[in-house]
Amino acid sequence: MGPPNRATDLLRLEEIAARLRIEIIEMLGKAGSGHPGGSLSVIDIVTCLYFSKMRHDPKRPEWPERDRFILSKGHAVPAQYAALAEAGYFPKQELGTLRKLGSRLQGHPVRNSVPGIEACTGSLGQGLSIAQGMAIASKLDGGKFHVYCVIGDGESQEGQIWEAAMSAPKYQVDTLTAILDYNHGQIDGYVDQVMPLEPVIDKWRAFNWNVLEIDGNQMAQISDALDQARNFKGKPTFIVAHTVKGKGVSFMENQIAWHGMAPNPEQTAKALAELRAAYQKRFGGTHGS
């Protein structure tokens, strides 16, 4: 795999992620509630999936052979909505309706709301099992599609995650890649304090997964790991993606308070100014002003 010009392609993905960060903040600012921390930590992974790795067609959202993406940590759905709109699944104007009465953009992912959402998630712990079922269905039909599932570190406190951790290797579900958005924060505090997850790599290795470890905010590392995962046979792959909660907005980074709090108008303006300045510095031109 890999496009002829790797550097150009990575730059393209980074540019998209930088724009989607801006759209996430705009969305949450308008919504007045939601989860910026985990949306910003996961957006680089989501971008790499939708705009490089996944075989999908926004014009045919029910194409049976499409790759599937399940956001088990459903509260980060602004990241997925931004990516779906960017890909053309629905008009970008609709992003401004997030969490409003009558909007197709529900506060957590809902299947059959907007095209591209594959399952209802957000009650934590359930998405990995659903992704596993899809990945088994793929294997039954000759492995025509791959299933990607992002879980949270706080979410990993749910017992059902470990039920799926046990069963996917049993069925050698190599059509499944799970990615841990390891941003270290959850509502009540740091994961290490609320309920420690370490040693997380040892745990997933012990459960017999193919385990990779990356910086989940570095596009090159994300891209390489997703390629390795897809090509690995005989076991499901688990990618431990170290990320920064609130990545890209200085006053949100690693701050627990920004797990589930939307920015007020001033904070929104401040965050957007920062993200736009970073965008301009990196890619030139302006975006979304």
Partner 1 sequence: MAAKATRDAFGEALARVGERYPNVVALDADLAKSTKSELFAKKFPGRFFEMGIAEANMIGTAAGLALSGKIPFACSFACFITGRFDQLKISIAYSQANVRLVGSHGGIAIGEDGYSQQGLEDLSVARSLPGMAVLNPADDLETEAAVEYLCTHSGPVYLRTTRQKVERINPDGYRFQFGKAVELRKGEDAVIFASGGEVHPALQAASSLADAGLKVGVINIHTLKPLDAAAVVAAARKVKLVATAEDHQIIGGLGSAVAEALAEAAVGVRLLRIGIPDTFGESGSPEDLLAKYKLDARGIAEQVGAALR
Site residues, partner 1 (CB under 8 A): 64, 68, 110-112, 118-123, 125-138, 140, 147, 159-160, 163-164, 166-167, 171
The total of other beta-carbon atoms located within 10 Å of residue 140's CB is 9
Q: Nearest approach, Cβ of 164 to partner 1 (angstroms)?
A: 5
Two structure tokens written together for 233: 């046979």
Q: Nearest approach, Cβ of 31 to partner 1 (angstroms)?
A: 21
Residue 212 to residue 225: CA distance in whole angstroms: 7
> Using alpha carbons only, what angle is made at residue 112 by residues 108 and 116, rounded to the nearest 5 degrees?
75
Q: Please, which residue, 4 or 142, has the CB nearer to partner 1?
A: 142
Q: Please, which residue, 41 or 129, has the CB nearer to partner 1?
A: 129
The total of other beta-carbon atoms located within 10 Å of residue 151's CB is 26
- Coil, strand or helix at 102: coil
Residue pair 118/70 in contact (Cβ under 8 Å)? The answer is: yes
Q: Please, which residue, 98 or 117, has the CB nearer to partner 1?
A: 117
- Strands 147-152 and 68-71, by their bridges, are parallel
Q: Nearest approach, Cβ of 117 to partner 1 (angstroms)?
A: 10
Name the one residue in this structure whose structure tokens are 């939307």.
262
Q: Nearest approach, Cβ of 227 to partner 1 (angstroms)?
A: 23
Name the one residue in this structure whose structure tokens are 């088994």.
136
Q: Nearest approach, Cβ of 161 to partner 1 (angstroms)?
A: 9
Q: Please, which residue, 167 or 228, has the CB nearer to partner 1?
A: 167
Q: Please, which residue, 138 or 267, has the CB nearer to partner 1?
A: 138
Q: What is the DSSP letter of 104?
A: S
Two structure tokens written together for 69: 């993406």
Residues 6+ apart with CB under 8 A from 133: none
Q: Nearest approach, Cβ of 129 to partner 1 (angstroms)?
A: 3
Q: Please, which residue, 92 or 111, has the CB nearer to partner 1?
A: 111
Distances (CA, A) of 135 to 61, 173, 185, 226: 17, 6, 29, 16
Q: Please, which residue, 208 or 228, has the CB nearer to partner 1?
A: 208
Residue pair 180/241 in contact (Cβ under 8 Å)? The answer is: yes
Residue pair 27/89 in contact (Cβ under 8 Å)? The answer is: no
Q: Nearest approach, Cβ of 122 to partner 1 (angstroms)?
A: 7
